[in-house]
Amino acid sequence: MAGPQDRLVIPPCVPSSTFTVDLASPHSGSSVPPGTDSFADLTARVRDLEQAVTALERAQAVAHVGNVEVDLETGTRTWSAEVYRLIGFDPSAGVPPLEAIFERAHPEDRERFSEVVRDSYAGRASEPFDYRTVLPSGTVRWIRYVAQVFDDPATGRRRLSSTLQDVTPQNEIASALGRTTHRLTRALAVGRMGFVDIDRRLGTRIWSPEMFALFAFPPAPQPPPLEAMLSRVHPLDHARVHTIFDRSYATGELAGTIEFRLLLPDGRVRWVRNVAQHEEGNRDRIMSIYLDITDLKLAQEAEQRRMMELASTVEHLERTRERLERAQRLARMGDAERFVGEPHRVWSGQMLKLHGLAATDAMPSRESFLERVHPDDRDRLLDALHQADTGEPVPTFDYRVVLSSGEVRWLRVHTETSKDPIRGHVRVASSTLDVTEQKSAELEMLRSLERERELGRLKADFLHMVTHEYRTPLGIIVSAAQILERYHERLTAGERAVHLTDIRASARRLADLMEEVLFLGKVEAGSLSLELQPTDCAVLVREVAHEVVTTFGPDREVRIDPEASTATVMADRRLLQHILANLISNALKYSSAPQPVWVDIRSDSGGLRLVVRDEGIGIPERDQPQLFEMFRRGSNVGAVSGTGLGLVVVKRCVDLHGGTLSLRSTEGVGTEITVHLPCLPRAATPAASATFHS
């Protein structure tokens, strides 16, 4: 046992985490004085008390009872957890002031309640007092307040101990009982219950006054004859009741409890219940009680109607549930609910389907669920789950799931978190919507916007190209034509030939440009198709090389590799002309005399291989990835004219043949472009080497 000054102080009915142990001892040193409990004993007692306090708190929550302790000298107040819930205050804010508690009381009870509480604080105990409190939600609850003042043996100070109990159900029951009692009292007052005392031996009947009102007879000193009484019985029940009464009066045999209807003179139907029993040890003496059960019958009928209505409501709710499930299926939306720290987890059938499961499958574990999430979204989803576990708001976000078929679906989840005020568990409710089509539409919209921007750029580049590339040849044509018109007679035949050559070359340049634009237009519109025919590539290379070199002047040359061989292959001759003309023209344009351009054309079992190489200005490495886009040129072309369409035309022609194109270039060194067309050779023939000059 503890020494006289050792005491264990536990505030009554407060959380176990708040109790204190006072082990003050007058003895010095660390040893425990003889006759006192050991530290292990005290620890065990503290643990037992903690368990007891926890059990009391649980009991208070179950019984809806809380307690308040007040030190009347210091004014210190201690509330149990249940008190906060009963009258709707936040425990984390501490004990509220008395005025706040009075304000929470119902206006009709506030003054009396404040008087009772102030009397308690003054040390005057009061009888149990019931009052109403209005919670912040507007709910009205009945609270029973009981206070007692006592002297604390531990401190010697006066303390006030009070309990608050939610007696709303009891008050409601009491009110209902009061109403029922009132109805019964009123029923007796108006004659809705009566009794009859029958003596078979003497042949007498005694009616209570209420019987006359019950059977709608005027009050009289003597009851009406039995036949007159039975005449009030409803025709549908008359034969049954008449038989029972005749047998009872004749033999004393009782039928127990019977119910039948009365048809009153004013046409009203009244239900009565008759209970008859013999006087103890005397079969000739019968006490018969008549009770008006019309209200009960009406209530039963109303209850039957309510049951039918309830069944109809249940059916309606079931149909509503089916409609909601159908709506979820149509909207491809599912919902889920869980409580953090509890096994309670629920997924709707549609939620299972969204994650590639059947609606009848068991809900997956968190690990199994995360395995279905796209690896790139898994960490973000885990962060959201951890955030929801803490009760923090989680913003709406999208993630992907990978179905067993390999299909990837986009899901958008909206999460709401709330906290149970009693248990403290976090409730996480989420709605998940399949937004795959929306994501596809957004992606397509972005692509459309990108195409619009690209079209705008192409339009601007095209206008720039037209105004820039058309101006020079048109100027040459106009200038040469004016000179020929004004000075035709004074010009020599050679001078006139020069101007005519300029006009022809400029017109050819314009025609080539227009042909490239029209060709690309047909390709982009999908209206250009391959026209395969046997083509002698060696002959075609010489023809195109001669034609291109002619336009560049007498000091330029194209060399065809003398070791090259070619074949008659199945290809589109027009497209091959475009490929050769553009590659050779570009090689000559971006290199200068006396540097030649080399062309190598070979065929093998894999198809046709064409290489065009020059030692010109080359292409900067940063410009090479975009050279096959329309109107794109190297940044080092300087004043060399061009449209930025030549390599685009080459690429489109190669693509139409199902071939490949590769480029190698070093700025200041030269460029080599290789084209491979998968054409099947017909017959190999040697290609004569040739060098073309203007």
Looking only at the bridges linking them, the beta strands covering 426-434 and 333-339 are: antiparallel
Q: What is the pLDDT of residue 268?
A: 93
Burial 56-77 (b: 16+ CB within 10 A, else e): bbeebbeebbbbbbbebeeeeb
Task: Read off the DSSP letter of residue 38.
Answer: P
Domains and CATH numbers, the chain: 1-63 (no CATH), 65-189 (3.30.450.20), 191-292 (3.30.450.20), 332-434 (3.30.450.20), 443-528 (1.10.287.130), 529-693 (3.30.565.10)
Asked if residues 409 and 436 have their Cβ atoms less than 8 Å apart, the reply is yes
Q: What is the pLDDT of residue 694?
A: 38
Q: Which amino acid is at 491?
A: L
Q: How confident is the model over 299-309, as a mean pLDDT? A: 91
Structure-model confidence comparison of residues 510 and 277, the more confident one: 277
Q: Which amino acid is at 126?
A: S
Burial 485-519 (b: 16+ CB within 10 A, else e): eeeeeeeeeeeeeebeebbebbeebbebbeebbeb
Which residues face 195 on adjacent strands?
Answer: 289
Where do runs of H (alpha helix) occur along 488-553?
493-525, 537-552
Tens of pLDDT, residue by residue over 407-440, are 999 999 998 888 877 767 888 888 888 888 888 8
Task: Read off the DSSP letter of residue 95.
Answer: S
Tokens of 263: 């048809």
d(CA 241, CA 484) in angstroms, rounded, equals 140
d(CA 372, CA 403) in angstroms, rounded, equals 7
Tens of pLDDT, residue by residue over 568-581, are 778 888 888 888 88
Asked if residues 521 and 648 have their Cβ atoms less than 8 Å apart, the reply is no
Tens of pLDDT, residue by residue over 585-594, are 888 888 887 8
Q: What is the pLDDT of residue 241?
A: 93
Q: What is the pLDDT of residue 240?
A: 93
Tens of pLDDT, residue by residue over 434-472, are 888 888 888 888 887 877 776 666 566 565 556 556 667
Q: What is the pLDDT of residue 19?
A: 38
Residue among 175, 147, 180 nearest 163 (CA): 147
Over its C-alpha atoms, the chain yields an Rg (Å, rounded) of 53
Which residues face 158 on adjacent strands?
Answer: 151
DSSP 542-600: HHHHHHHHHHH-TT-EEEE-TT-EEEEEEE-HHHHHHHHHHHHHHHHHTS-TT--EEEE
Asked if residues 613 and 672 have their Cβ atoms less than 8 Å apart, the reply is yes
Task: Read off the DSSP letter of residue 233.
Answer: B
Tokens of 94: 């501490």
Which of 165-179, 304-318, 349-363 has the highest mean predicted lDDT (pLDDT)? 304-318
Tokens of 417: 């978190």
Q: Which amino acid is at 498?
A: V
d(CA 333, CA 327) in angstroms, rounded, equals 8
Tokens of 287: 């006490």
DSSP strands (E only) in 305-360: 333-339, 345-347
First to last CA, the chain: 126
Q: Which amino acid is at 262?
A: L
pLDDT band at 15 (very low <50, low <70, confident <90, very high): very low
Position 341 pLDDT exceeds 50: yes
How many beta carbons lie within 10 A of that of residue 337, not counting itself?
15
Tens of pLDDT, residue by residue over 23-77, are 334 334 444 455 556 777 778 877 777 777 777 777 777 778 888 888 888 888 8
List of residues 6+ apart from 69 with CB closer than 8 A: 11, 12, 13, 14, 77, 78, 159, 160, 161
Tokens of 295: 């209200």
Identify the weakest region by mean pLDDT among 272-281, 419-428, 609-618.
419-428
Identify the weakest region by mean pLDDT among 163-172, 222-231, 506-515.
506-515
Tens of pLDDT, residue by residue over 670-689, are 899 898 888 644 444 444 44
Position 253 pLDDT exceeds 50: yes
Q: What is the pLDDT of residue 236?
A: 94
Burial 87-118 (b: 16+ CB within 10 A, else e): bebeeeeebbeeeebeebbeeebbeebbebbe
Q: Which amino acid is at 548?
A: V
Where do runs of H (alpha helix) occur along 88-153?
98-104, 110-121
Q: What is the pLDDT of residue 232?
A: 94
Helix, strand, coil share (%) of the chain residues, nearest 5: 45, 25, 30
How many beta carbons lie within 10 A of that of residue 144, not counting itself?
17
d(CA 570, CA 31) in angstroms, rounded, equals 110
